[in-house]
Chains A and B, each alone.
Chain A
Amino acid sequence: MYQNKSRFAKVLGIASTVFLVIYTIFSVFPLIWMVIISFKSDVDMFKTLFIFKPTLDNFRNVLTTGNYVKAFGDNFIICSGAVLVSVIVGVPAAYALARYNFKRKETVAFTILSFKFAPEILIIIPLFAIFQKLHLYDTYFGMIWIYQFIGLPLLIWVLRGYFEDIPVEMERAAELDGYSWFEVFFKMLIPLIRPGLVAAALLTFIFCWNNFTFGLMLCGFNIQTITVSALTYIATDTIHYGQMAVASLIAIAPEIVLCLCIQKHLVRGLSFGAVKG
């Protein structure tokens, strides 16, 4: 009996390992392929080759001609701005939803969450009209304004949970200790919600960075986001897969760097509350 069981466990172990290996190849291979074709010349592009003469032409083309570098900068400005606005708006909103009792509180909270229900494409035509009317089309302000909606619901809902976990008596205790309300907020509350804040802000940044619809529809010649910029390598006569791969590769670099930097916050921040025990 005991032997049977151990044999079964062994088989299960092997099976799960095999499955995971296949799954890993399946999910990582596109990325690997992207890295490979970014070094390929156009001649080798459509051949399934793993051994070829690597070239840096694609990198040279992307970085020196066209406006990829500017798009990268634009994207960075818009996303950072959007994250900043999300945090400035979202932290007090989350606090209010966690602490104060007002009429239709849950309705407000749900409405905020419901921003994420509809696909972006659904609202893009009215938004386009509004942006034209208000002269927000193709401006940094307009882009930041629309981008902050992308991550705000997530930020508010994550942080609301964090604030709710902090006993209200702790705030009272700090006030009685002589702290002003702002000091209580910045010295007592912000340190406690920091893991959640970091994780939610990072996710917000990634969602913004990867956004395509808004960048495509609400920007023109002045500003180009990086996702839209990658599209420009689809020319009328040919598709420059190599350059597109380079553009995408560079585009995911900041996300990877950010994630590696705050990896430990990311998992902990979204899974634990602020105050344990």
Chain B
Amino acid sequence: MARIRLDHVTKKYGSITALKDVSIDVKDNEFYVIFGPAGAGKTSVLNLIAGISDPEEGDILFDDAYMNYVEPRERDVAMVFENYALYPHKTVYENIASSMRTKKYRQPEEVVDREVKRVAAMMNISELLERKPTQASNGQRQRIALGRALVRNPNVFLMDEPLAHLDAKLRNSMRKELKSMQEAFHTTTIYVTHDYTEAMSLGDRIAVIHEGSICQVGTGNEVYYLPETEFVAKLFGDCEINILKGCVTEEKGRTGIRLPYGEEVYPVPDDVGERLQCAGVKDVDIGFRGWAIDYSREPRKGYVRGKIYTHEPLGNKVELTVSLGDDMIRFIVHVDERFEIDEAIYLHFNMDKGIFFHSETKEYLVRHNEEVMRGGGKNG
């Protein structure tokens, strides 16, 4: 139970800079998700907090204690490693009990037994306790690794993609389990993942990290509805956000957007228009998530014509890719409609659901109903 802070931390491995001037502030008892693509520096952050490596610059603070160069075992952190890092020569029971058998965290034998059985039951691995980790499946190993961490009551739990190697079904159920356990943890947790659904569902706050820098820190809704950059917008969402180039126009005091397809000008909501005028930008990038796009099989006013490029059934939904000019537009449609490849389809972009970015800096400008979205928005 501690507040964890990294203060302007830089970490280099030889000539490679893994983290550049990273500052994070994890509140006590917060479930903090670090989210980013592969190689972004997610694990490096955990290693610094655990004391596995030391930063070249910057401070690491637990509450107000300065933790740079403190030995890992003195930090009282529990970590779940991506490759499990179980002790192959010990039984599952001894793996989970190992921290309670050290000088530092020693517990009486009856406490060890009780705690191991409690965690094993929670992780649903009670029947494996007498086995060696090599005799367990990958999913089971991951749960053993989780159990070995959860048996402790540390300053902070560090979880490095603990669900990455589980199959989809087990991952879903473990995610729900983690979410329900999260209430009972009462411990600060820092959770690294590259799966946006995990990040959104588990995190109190999400830090998006890219190439060693933090792009954005915010709640799930904030990073989804109000991404600070196009990069963040692209990371979240099931079918990737569609970024279109738009031209800002003004007619009779009303701001509109012209898309590269046709001459049609689409009016934007007033709050968006105002902000665009203030910023004085001519070109914008507009992000439309799948649900911000309407489609029609017949030509209609305000709809642009495209051609179906691919058609990907995903069980309860179908992901359509439509080629429109030079762009590929992805969105989700219902399963009960039949689509043919190369068929003509007419699309309409809802400007009140678009996210506007600066065309050069790729940074967030505005969207409709910003304040509502920050509070939670409607489910999309």
| CB atoms of B89 and A178 under 8 A apart | no
| CB atoms of A175 and B134 under 8 A apart | no
With A188-B87, A192-B89, A275-B88 already in contact, the answer to whether A176 and B78 are too (CB < 8 A) is yes
Which B residues are in CB contact (< 8 Å) with A174? Answer: 87, 98
A170, A175, A192, A276: the one contacting B72 at CB < 8 Å is A175
Inter-chain CA distance A176–B149, complex, in Å, is: 10
Check if B122 is an interface residue, CB within 8 A of chain A: no
Check if A237 is an interface residue, CB within 8 A of chain B: no
| CB atoms of A178 and B134 under 8 A apart | no
Check if A180 is an interface residue, CB within 8 A of chain B: yes
How many chain B residues sit at the interface, stated as a range, is: 20 to 34
With A176-B50, A176-B72, A177-B98 already in contact, the answer to whether A169 and B81 are too (CB < 8 A) is yes
B71, B85, B89, B103: the one contacting A173 at CB < 8 Å is B85
Which A residues are in CB contact (< 8 Å) with B89? Answer: 188, 191-192
Check if B18 is an interface residue, CB within 8 A of chain A: no
A172, A179, A274: the one contacting B50 at CB < 8 Å is A172
Q: Is the interface of B mostly helix, strand, loop or mixed?
A: loop
| CB atoms of B99 and A178 under 8 A apart | yes
Nearest-CB distance from A187 to chain B (Å)? 9
| CB atoms of A170 and B85 under 8 A apart | yes
By beta carbon, the residue of chain A nearest B98 is A177
Inter-chain CA distance A14–B82, complex, in Å, is: 54
With A172-B52, A177-B99, A188-B87 already in contact, the answer to whether A277 and B72 are too (CB < 8 A) is no
Q: How many A-B residue pairs have CB under 8 A?
A: 63
Digitize B74-97: 1 where CB-to-A-CB distance is under 8 Å, 0 elsewhere.
010111011101111100000000
Check if B186 is an interface residue, CB within 8 A of chain A: no
Digitize B133-164: 1 where CB-to-A-CB distance is under 8 Å, 0 elsewhere.
01000000000000010000000000000000
| CB atoms of A176 and B79 under 8 A apart | yes
Which B residues are in CB contact (< 8 Å) with A277? Answer: 134
A167, A192, A274, A276: the one contacting B83 at CB < 8 Å is A167
| CB atoms of B73 and A175 under 8 A apart | yes
| CB atoms of A172 and B81 under 8 A apart | yes
Check if B104 is an interface residue, CB within 8 A of chain A: yes
With A183-B102, A191-B89, A275-B88 already in contact, the answer to whether A176 and B77 are too (CB < 8 A) is yes
Inter-chain CA distance A172–B77, complex, in Å, is: 12
Inter-chain CA distance A76–B2, complex, in Å, is: 59
Inter-chain CA distance A178–B98, complex, in Å, is: 9
Inter-chain CA distance A178–B155, complex, in Å, is: 13
Q: Which of A248-277 contact B (CB under 8 A)?
A: 274-277
Check if B69 is an interface residue, CB within 8 A of chain A: no
Question: Can you sample 27 A-B contacts with CB below 8 Å?
Answer: A167-B85, A169-B85, A170-B85, A170-B86, A172-B50, A172-B52, A172-B81, A173-B79, A173-B81, A173-B85, A174-B98, A175-B73, A176-B73, A176-B78, A177-B73, A177-B98, A177-B99, A177-B105, A178-B73, A178-B99, A179-B73, A180-B73, A191-B89, A192-B89, A274-B88, A275-B88, A276-B88
